[in-house]
Amino acid sequence: MHMNTKKHIAIILGGTLFGFGLAYSGAAVPEIVLSFLRLEDFGLVLVIGGALLVTLITFQLIPKLLSKPLLNGTFATSSRLSVSKWNVIGAAVFGAGWGISGLCPGTSFAAIGMGNWPILIGIIGMFIGAYVYGTLRNKGLTGIE
């Protein structure tokens, strides 16, 4: 099998586990995310904490154990960027949208898989938002990436 095909299959499989986990955890339900942000249910701390624990071990340990990924390529490592004002402004704008809708990119795609169709409106909003941001960059706005 072509290496590129294998790579895509691996990403779809990993993504499937990722999406299943989001669905299982309840994080793909915007009402549950909002109950966390209103400080009524702290479950989301355990979702992010559990995922962070596993990825922390993987990202810190695997590049020391393997010389390269199993399907070739190189391990992405920290880029040690210095903090920009755009990290703070962007995260604040995202936080406002998150607080209004209970949606973030990953959980919204998982919500569609769970048959929660109205979330498609949120995803359309995200695509338009990314277009607006890219257009601002084309018009000379500075930023990161």
Partner 1 sequence: MESLFPLGIEQYLVGGLLVGLGISFVYIMTGLVSGVSTAFTSTWSFFSRDTTSFFRREKFLSSRTWRLSLVTGLMLGALVYLVFINGGESTVTSLSMTRLFFGGLLVGIGTRMAAGCPSGHGICGNAMLEKTSFISTVTFLSVGIVVALLTQSIF
Site for partner 1 in 55-84 (CB under 8 A): 55-60, 62, 66, 68-71, 73-84
Cα–Cα distance between 89 and 14 in angstroms, integer?
A: 31
Examine residue 1 and tell whether it contacts partner 1 (CB under 8 A): no
Backbone CA torsion sign across 144, 102, 106, 133: negative
Based on the shown chain and the rule CB under 8 A, indicate whether residue 31 belongs to the binding site for partner 1.
yes
Separation in Å, CA 40 to CA 25, 34, 43, 79, 118: 16, 9, 9, 36, 24
Q: Please, what is the angle between helix 105-113 and helix 30-37, to 10°?
A: 150
Contact 36, 44 (CB under 8 A): yes
Stretch 93-112 residues interacting with partner 1 (CB under 8 A): 93-112
Rounded least distance, CB 129 to partner 1, Å: 2
How many residues lie near partner 1 (CB under 8 A)? 120
What is the C-alpha separation between 38 and 102, in angstroms, rounded?
11
123 binds partner 1 per the rule CB under 8 A? yes
**Residue 124: CB minimum distance to partner 1, A:** 7
**39 scored as a contact of partner 1 (CB under 8 A):** yes
Among 1, 28, 64, 67, binds partner 1 (CB under 8 A): 28
The least distance separating partner 1 from the CB of residue 5, rounded to whole angstroms, comes to: 11
